[in-house]
Amino acid sequence: MKLLAKKDVPELLQAWSQRYEVLSPGTTEQADCIFGAFSRDSFTLSYRKPPMPPKAALLPPSQVIFTIENGRYADAASAGRTLLFGIRACDAMGILQAKSFFQRDGSDSYVSRRSDESVIIVNACSGPQNETCFCTTMHSGPYADRGFDLQLYDMGETFLVEEGSARGAELTGSQFFFAIGDAEAAGRIRTFRQKAQKAIPSVPEVARAMNILKAGPSCDSVWERLGKKCIMCGGCAYVCPTCTCFTVADRVHTAMNGQRIRSWDACLFSGFTREASGHNPRPTQASRLKRRHEHKLLYYNKIDTQAMVCGCVGCGRCSDYCPVHIGTLEVVKSIAEQVGQ
Amino acid sequence: MTNSICEFEDADLFLVTGSNTTAQHPLIGSRIINAVERGAKLILIDPREIPLAAFAELHLRQNIGTDIAVLNGLMNVIIEENLYDRQFVADRTEGFEALKAAVSRYTPAVVEMITGISAADLTRAARMYARADKAMLAYAMGITQHITGTDNVKACANIAMLTGHVGRPSTGVNPLRGQNNVQGACDMGGLPGVFSGYQPVSDEAARKKFERAWGVEGLPAQAGLTLGGMLEAGRKGALKALYVMGENPRISDPNLGSVDLALSSLDLLIVQDIFMSETAALADVVLPAACFAEKGGTYTNTERRVQLTQRAVTAPGQARADWEIIADLCRRCGLEAPYTHPGQIMEEIRSVTPSYGGITHERLSKTYGLQWPCPNREHPGTAFLHSAQFTRGKGSFQPSDFTPQGEATDQDFPFTLTTGRIYCQFHTGTMSRRVDLLEREAPEPLVEIHPEDAAKLGIRKNDLVEVSSRRGSIRLKADVTTRVPRKVLFTTFHFHEAQVNLLTNPACDRTSGIPELKECAAAIRRCP
């Protein structure tokens, strides 16, 4: 096991920037915390759950995948060696789920060329980041048990560093890391984990809602009520670590010149399922909300969820950011209360 | 807006009229929904069954163009039943007796005949609005785009003053502005008769101040032309040159046939835009402008909040920021334009605009913006207006009478055509129609027609129909829906494929010059 002094972290990230595109927490001029390109000026270690999950490192919000110039095809999707420093365990699980989805039925080369060489360094949570965290319920946190190269445990002035892969072990070879006895480190990590686990309350309505959905009583009254107020912004999908739906569009500049773009999509948009005839199998916002939440809570794929509880990692962002409060927490509570009784 | 956006969270009652809030101002609409879910009441006055109707305690579906009768009717009930705020009226307003006399004719029975709103619903709405503690009135183009637009707005102000529903948190009159910077454009004097901060050109002291600041003499004391007035002058040959920035009148203005005539009659048409719009295609000179991400500067939003943006990417090709183009043009005309950064322009704005007096780029960079009035560098900005007094001192009641719409329906044109916007497209589509996802969501123009009308005319959903008015006709698909009342057609002006403004009536409000885009007489038939 290794130790890393917090005061050395900026220097370390500066050094890693030679080999990687380092993404790390930083502070904006307005004192908000965002996750972005490392810069010594804005870097911070006192940060909470950033607004966006790190999925853009694998699947950019919008990406040119190929171009046609004078009738000739050219692959344009970028490769990347990203180092994600300090992401949370729920987000690491989100990346695992997303990667697994993109490797099923043939590998998505645009994702794999950005993710295969990337490094994930998790900063284990010592407690909830805010009141919507429910990773303990979903078994995705507060610390990661897989899906990381290094995991940091906050010990005050230092981080205890757990190695999760050969690539991670190689990264701790530099002068910034100090060795520490394995037995002592394991004890301290155990204590950290136990305290953190206890600090994040569980949400029993998740299991209850999943069981209700599985048992099959109609939850239409819930979907109708929520569907009426959904403003169709798609924000819940954009902030979700496991939402990976994309759309593909061609931008034709001239007859022999253009680009193919793929960009984030959301299943709450009506055009997502509209067929060429105009028929839409999910014709109302209520039916689209039902599909979205059933996809997370009922129709998740066991392979893609990495043996987790379901398709949701419990980061709570949809509850943080939905302007009309239709996050997973509100949905499971509505189902448990309205239908469960 | 006299209030701030976040104040929608705490109101007890909303009176929303002429605004499809969830579609056009979704972050205000969502606050209304949240407030209703925790117990606030919503009164909606709108002919169409817009999404907010599902949250309304009362949905009053007035006949199009009868807003003044509705508002006068509400005020009449409030006065008759002694529900008005006597203290506020006495201390803060003048002209109450004239208002009382003017609205006394609008009894619930009379209003029911004019507007189609039942006397019982009108009375209930009046009582609810008057008795609420914190009531917010919100309106948008459904109030303004009529030949009586100015009077409609005054009627909204009258009812808020009558009930004392203005000048407090979560209590006020809130016109919802339709673009990120339309408030800023007006604040900067982008109107025919004012300098920045609404200082009238007719005021000699204001003229002298700007003459000194700009080092010029003889600034005109007369208001200039409105957009409609410019086009009319163009048609008559009185206007020789027109410089259009970020506007697309060849799609957005009423009676498009005459717009083309006006533009082609000019000696010189200059268009400054980020894309080759329909209007730019007619221009003698096109000045390519930088888009929002390619320039720095400020925007002033609907809650009077001035917000700073930084350049994120370099503008392509010859495109430049609007201020750079205008400054360069000034220099070539022999004027001084000593600007190298938008922060310097903000300093000039500050020096001549009292309400912006304390707004600097430095302050803006450390905050989420400042709301005017912000008269000095120590001032924190103003969340809501008119707390102690109105701009002119006492609020002046300015009653007006209902007058019928500009163009009556008849046997040949039996429908009232009203126009508006949808969630996934923006204005004339110069920007939103280039976004793949938005284009997938809303790829084609549709005209809404009530199922009973559709059945009579043999029109089914998605049938191609022809909609015509006395000025032209367009073809588009039908959306058969009870969202619209009987004898009303609704469509949008987003799509160049079916330009509804070929049909609309160019009649204008006599004060503001805003065209009557919300109503004209029309006919519809199924295309064979």
Between A33 and B457, residue with greater pLDDT: B457
Assign B182 to helix, strand or coil. helix
- Confidence band of B250 (pLDDT split at 50, 70, 90): very high
Sign of the dihedral defined by the CA atoms of residues A109, A114, A120, A125, in that order? negative
Closest residue on chain A to B20 (Cα): A231
Over the stretch A117-171, which tens digit does the pLDDT of each residue have? 999 999 999 999 999 999 999 999 999 999 999 999 999 999 999 999 999 999 9
Q: What is the pLDDT of residue B67?
A: 97
- Confidence band of A9 (pLDDT split at 50, 70, 90): very high
- Cβ–Cβ < 8 Å for B269, B241: yes
Choose among A299, A235, A304: nearest CA to A264.
Answer: A235
Q: How many CB pairs under 8 A join A and B?
A: 49
Q: What is the pLDDT of residue A216?
A: 84
Is B354 near chain A, with CB under 8 Å?
Answer: no
Indicate yes or no: CB of A247 within 8 angstroms of CB of B423. Answer: no
All domains of chain B in start order, with CATH: 5-176 (3.40.228.10), 182-305+313-335 (3.40.50.740), 415-526 (2.40.40.20)
DSSP single-letter state for residue A336: I
A151: which strand partners?
Answer: A122, A162
Q: What is the pLDDT of residue A341?
A: 63
| Beta-carbon contacts of residue B466 (< 8 Å; ≥ 6 apart) | B473, B474, B475, B524, B525, B526, B527
What mean pLDDT is predicted for residues A93-122? 93
Residue B351 half-sphere exposure toward CB, CA atoms < 13 A: 12
Distances (CA, A) of B357 to B16, B194, B351, B392: 33, 17, 6, 20
Phi-psi region of A278 (alpha: psi -120 to 50; beta: other; left: phi over 0): left
Token readout for A228 is 């009426």
Per-residue DSSP letters for B507-524? EE-TTT--EETT-EEEEE
- Confidence band of A305 (pLDDT split at 50, 70, 90): confident
Indicate yes or no: CB of B366 within 8 angstroms of CB of A30. Answer: yes
Sign of the dihedral defined by the CA atoms of residues B71, B77, B83, B89, in that order? positive
- Cβ–Cβ < 8 Å for B289, B316: no
Beta strands B395-396 and B93-94 are parallel
- Cβ–Cβ < 8 Å for B317, B287: no
Torsion of CA B72, B73, B79, B83, to 10 degrees: -110
Torsion of CA B129, B130, B132, B133, to 10 degrees: 140
Q: What is the 3-state secondary structure (H, E, C) of B128-140?
A: HHHHCCCEEEEEC
Over the stretch B64-103, which tens digit does the pLDDT of each residue have? 999 999 999 999 999 999 999 999 999 999 999 999 999 9
Interface probe for A, chosen from B436, B439, B462 (most Cβ of A below 10 Å), is B436
What mean pLDDT is predicted for residues A96-115? 92
Helix axes A204-215, A285-297, angle to 10 degrees: 110
Q: What is the pLDDT of residue A79?
A: 84
Residue A340 scores a pLDDT above 70: no
Contacts of B26 in chain A (CB under 8 A): 231, 233, 323
Choose among A254, A248, A230: nearest CA to B437.
Answer: A248
Contacts of B22 in chain A (CB under 8 A): 231
**Residue whose entry in the numeric block shows the structure tokens 């502005």:** B177
Our separate counts of H helices and E strands in chain A read: 12, 12
Is B316 near chain A, with CB under 8 Å?
Answer: no
**Residue whose entry in the numeric block shows the structure tokens 């789920």:** A97
Q: What is the C-alpha separation between A296 and A317, in angstroms, rounded?
A: 14
| Beta-carbon contacts of residue A212 (< 8 Å; ≥ 6 apart) | A219, A335, A336, A339, A340
The residue type at B64: I
What mean pLDDT is predicted for residues B161-170? 97
Give the burial string for A175-203 (b: 16+ CB within 10 Å, else e).
ebbeeeeeeebeeebeebbeebbeebeeb
Per-residue DSSP letters for A103-162? HTTS--HHHHHHHTT-EEEEE--SS-SSTT--HHHHT--SS-SSS-SEEEEE-SSEEEEE
What mean pLDDT is predicted for residues B120-148? 97
Token readout for B202 is 């007719």
Contacts of B27 in chain A (CB under 8 A): 323
Token readout for B118 is 């039942």
pTM of the model: 0.94
Give the burial string for A268-285 (b: 16+ CB within 10 Å, else e).
bbbbbebeeeeeeebeeb
Q: What is the pLDDT of residue A307?
A: 81
Residue A72 half-sphere exposure toward CB, CA atoms < 13 A: 3
- Confidence band of A28 (pLDDT split at 50, 70, 90): confident
Residue B168 scores a pLDDT above 70: yes
Indicate yes or no: CB of A233 within 8 angstroms of CB of B37. Answer: no
- Cβ–Cβ < 8 Å for B298, B309: yes
| Chain A closest-CA separation from residue B35 CA (Å) | 10
Choose among B146, B228, B214: nearest CA to B406.
Answer: B146
Residue B34 sits at the vertex; the CA angle it makes with A134 and A336, to the nearest 5 degrees, is 45
Mean pLDDT (chain A) is 94
Residue B205 half-sphere exposure toward CB, CA atoms < 13 A: 1
Q: What is the pLDDT of residue B178?
A: 87
Indicate yes or no: CB of B437 within 8 angstroms of CB of A247. Answer: yes
Token readout for A240 is 């979700």
Over the stretch B12-34, which tens digit does the pLDDT of each residue have? 999 999 999 999 999 999 999 99
CB atoms within 10 A of CB B433: 19
Q: What is the C-alpha separation between B222 and B203, in angstroms, rounded?
A: 10
Residue B405 scores a pLDDT above 90: no
- Confidence band of B222 (pLDDT split at 50, 70, 90): very high
| Chain B closest-CA separation from residue A230 CA (Å) | 8
**Residue whose entry in the numeric block shows the structure tokens 């704005």:** B349
Give the burial string for A14-33 (b: 16+ CB within 10 Å, else e).
eebbeebbbbbbbeeeeeeb
Give the burial string for A73-90 (b: 16+ CB within 10 Å, else e).
eeeebeebebbbbbbbbb
Mean pLDDT (chain B) is 96
- The ipTM, to two decimals, is 0.91
Task: Give the ranges where chain A is alpha helix by DSSP (H).
Answer: 9-16, 89-103, 109-115, 135-138, 166-171, 182-199, 204-215, 220-229, 235-238, 285-297, 317-321, 328-334
Contacts of A233 in chain B (CB under 8 A): 26
Q: For B452-519, where are the E strands, in sequence order? A: 464-468, 473-480, 488-492, 505-508, 515-516
